[in-house]
Structure 1
Amino acid sequence: MKVVVFAGGLGTRLSEETAIRPKPMVEIGGRPIIWHIMQCYAHFGLTDFIVLGGYRVEFIRQYFLNYRMHSSDFTIDMSNGEIVWTAAKGEPWRVTVLDTGPKTMTGGRMKRARDIIGNETFCLTYGDGVSDVDIGKLVAFHREGGKWATVTAVEPPGRFGVLNFTEESHEVASFREKDGRDVGFVNGGFFVCEPQVFKLLEDDSTVWEQAPMRRLVEAGQLRAYRHHGFWQSMDTLRDKQVLEDIWAAGNAPWKVWKD
């Protein structure tokens, strides 16, 4: 199963960092946050990634192209350029990096990756949020439900799309943007989708969180997987510092993998 990661937005609320690099490349504990996200999926055996780049995609390309070089010990023969990797380190991952355009919206980015994603169930998430959600249980929940898409519902304060759903079936009954009156569950990303969702994506201007998700709701094709554990997005410098502090303390809840 492929894991598709949104990684092309401008990240304007984190402009102190994103003026020079895309938000998924902003580091937590010396590693880009996208690396943390990918480690979470890899822990559950999902290692085939499609990164939907856009804004400053060259930083993402360079990171993965040079990953071995920056992670490993080596000896180089300066006379001929021959390199011997003395302590090669890498990840058992397959990573596809796509340039889906700097101004393309989230749904448009998905549509551009249609052929690579293929006709199979796939995971989808944002390149700026970490969680200790059990991906194995999430995928099982999705398969049991038989719907086109499942969204992970989380309970943070703040600025996210609100989900209302039935208690028994978990089917989402409505989806809208959050306002000051709201409490409860919100869209935390960590989706699981069927290829039928591509029918809802029109062009580069399509925003996945707007018309497509509303149409999923109207068709009764969106379920919510309620996650009561840790979840944190990195929208602002304060969010980044929160994650840095948690990581530095050595008890990051999202670190489900072993070193």
Structure 2
Amino acid sequence: MLHIEELYIQPDATVLEAMKKLDETGQRILFVAPEGRLEAVLTDGDVRKYILRGGELEGPVSGAANYRPVSLPVAERGSAKAVLEEKGIDALPLLDKKGHILDIVFASGFDIDNRKPAGLPVVIMAGGLGTRLYPYTKILPKPLIPVGELPIIEHIIHRFRDFGCRKFYLVVNYKKNMIKSYFNDLEKDYEVEYIDEEEPLGTGGGLCLLKGKLDEPFFLSNCDILIDADFGDIYRRHKESESIITMVCAFKHFTVPYGVVDLGENGEIRAMREKPEMNFLTNTGVYVVEPRVIRELEDGKKQGFTDIIERYRAAGDRVGVYPIREQSWMDMGQMEELDAMRRKLENQ
């Protein structure tokens, strides 16, 4: 169990430090509370908005935090549930008369679901060979490889289903009859439609097979990743930004385990950096896509979805980004990543 102090962050801490602390605590909120007195709150949503405004990861959390936080006097604890529901927030600090945090009431303790419904159709690209997971995929198609008690594709579907998505299109090719048999025998509260890909068309080309089936925005997902995100909020952001495609991206923080040498002219050393740190956004393989993309695809052309994105960017269409934390993204594309995903799901 966390102590309150573990959720405190200093106002001069960096946004990057705050992101790491959000991951470490497993909560979606931190409190700027010097000497225990509440000044501001910082949620993962605040961090996301800060980044999208162009904020630097090395900037202070004071530039991202909300300095008008919702709180209650500790004597009004009985009103906490109503306030959490009314404000749609995850946590509510309870204060003494001097503004010190005495307790925090979390929405999860009241079984309140603050997530926003999405309800969009979902297209899952489930036809690949899964060569990076050989020899598993010699026997099973990648979508049916078990992660815990369920195959990976069911984990993916359940994440979307929790946000009201009930229609799923599976683009299938390799060992497609095994995938169809699995879902046909499964008791489920959602609908699955199979899109047969006779020839491999890539993660983008296979979408042309959905022409005439989708006339509304949809989620697109690879079949080897899981993200822990608010799909309703992703869609809201997509519509507000008027993007043709929104890419869900995860922040990665990577420390090079070696000293790095930069060369100048004539082979002399220009600079030396000992174990430099890198911060970057990486594509998770989950998108919100406008139906126009399907209508404009060339039939039968093999292409990746990133090729489609680049074409729209070059034409001046807006492609948005929805950033999530590194710990909110799990990838099973390689053996070691598959094992890591299994361990993480077992601990949830």
Q: What range describes the TM-score normalised by the shorter chain of this pair? A: 0.7 to 0.9
Aligned match for 1:193, one of 274, 289, 298: 289
Alignment gaps of 5+ in structure 2: 1-119, 255-276
Query: Which one has the bigger helix percentage?
Result: 2
- Shift in Å, 1:245: 1.4
- Shift in Å, 1:142: 0.6
- Shift in Å, 1:9: 0.7
Note the 1:1-259 alignment, pairs <5 A: 1-67=120-186, 90-116=187-213, 118-156=214-252, 183-218=279-314, 219-228=316-325, 229-249=327-347, 251=348
Q: Is the 8 A contact 1:111 1:201 kept in 2?
A: yes
TM-score by length of 1: 0.74
- Shift in Å, 1:157: 7.1
Report how many residues are paired.
205
Please, which moves more after superposition, 204-213 or 121-130? 204-213
Given the superposition, is the C-alpha separation of residues 22 and 182 from structure 1 closer, same or farther in structure 2, using an over 3 Å criterion? farther
Deviations 1:2-22 (A, max 9, x none): 100010011111012111221
- Shift in Å, 1:91: 2.5
Please, which moves more after superposition, 190-199 or 123-132? 190-199
Q: Higher relative CO (CA 8 A, sep ≥ 6), structure 1 or 2?
A: 1
Deviations 1:65-100 (A, max 9, x none): 111xxxxxxxxxxxxxxxxxxxxxx32101112211
Question: Which SS does the other structure have where 2:153 is aligned?
Answer: helix
The CA distance in 2 between the partners of 1:58 and 1:106, in whole Å, is 20
Instruction: Provide the alpha-carbon RMSD of the alignment.
Output: 1.9
- Shift in Å, 1:247: 2.2
Deviations 1:40-75 (A, max 9, x none): 0000001110011111111110101111xxxxxxxx
Alignment gaps of 5+ in structure 1: 68-89, 159-180, 252-259
Given the superposition, is the C-alpha separation of residues 199 and 206 from structure 1 closer, same or farther in structure 2, using an over 3 Å criterion? farther
Q: Is the 8 A contact 1:8 1:101 kept in 2?
A: no
Counterpart of 2:220 in structure 1: which amino acid?
Answer: L
The CA distance in 2 between the partners of 1:41 and 1:126, in whole Å, is 13
- Shift in Å, 1:189: 2.0
Q: Is the 8 A contact 1:55 1:101 kept in 2?
A: no
The CA distance in 2 between the partners of 1:208 and 1:115, in whole Å, is 21
Counterpart of 1:111 in structure 2: which amino acid?
Answer: C
TM-score by length of 2: 0.56
Deviations 1:138-184 (A, max 9, x none): 011111111211110112479xxxxxxxxxxxxxxxxxxxxxx9740
Q: Is the 8 A contact 1:156 1:231 kept in 2?
A: no
